[in-house]
């Protein structure tokens, strides 16, 4: 029972983080595009919309347990991309808090990797997967 509760809580936390980020993007798409433009990317408004829908998909995957391990891996790659792009070493000298934000992304990555290996659990999880063995053939449910 405790394992099930912990897995469901972890899924809710992951889903909440990505769905809140999605909501902030939809409520302030121009601000998100401005952040993307300040990092030097072309077509910032288009990329802001892509990021919003991408994060929506991740949030739904964590919430439902569908493609859970795959979503956790993709989310981990995305989180590290964000760490280097928006909180990387070039920003540390001018704002030491950026280093903390940078490190926090790696803590998030650790949780995502753990989630990817262990899956969404057996309860309240759709259990859909891509047809690949992944992490040593670990099954979705335990």
Higher model confidence: residue 129 or residue 6?
A: 6
Report the pLDDT averaged over residues 48-72.
95
pLDDT in tens, 116-126: 998 897 876 77
pLDDT of residue 122: 80
Q: How far apart are CA 40 and CA 31, in angstroms?
A: 14
Token digits of residue 117: 């290996």
Report the pLDDT averaged over residues 92-110.
94
Q: Specify the pTM.
A: 0.84
**Shortest CA distance to 116 belongs to which of 139, 87, 92?**
139
Report the pLDDT averaged over residues 91-96.
91
């Amino acid at each position: 029972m405790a394992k099930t509760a912990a897995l469901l809580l972890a899924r809710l936390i992951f889903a909440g983080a990505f769905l809140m980020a999605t909501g902030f993007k939809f409520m302030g798409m121009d601000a998100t595009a401005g952040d993307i433009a300040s990092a030097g990317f072309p077509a910032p408004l288009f990329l802001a919309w892509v990021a919003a829908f991408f994060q929506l998909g991740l949030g739904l995957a964590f919430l439902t347990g569908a493609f859970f391990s795959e979503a956790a891996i993709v989310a981990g790659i995305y989180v590290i991309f964000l760490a280097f792009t928006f909180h990387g070493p070039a920003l540390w000298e001018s704002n030491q808090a950026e280093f903390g934000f940078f490190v926090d992304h790696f803590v998030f990555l650790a949780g995502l990797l753990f989630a990817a290996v262990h899956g969404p659990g057996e309860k309240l999880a759709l259990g859909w997967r891509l047809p690949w063995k992944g992490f040593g053939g670990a099954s979705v449910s335990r």
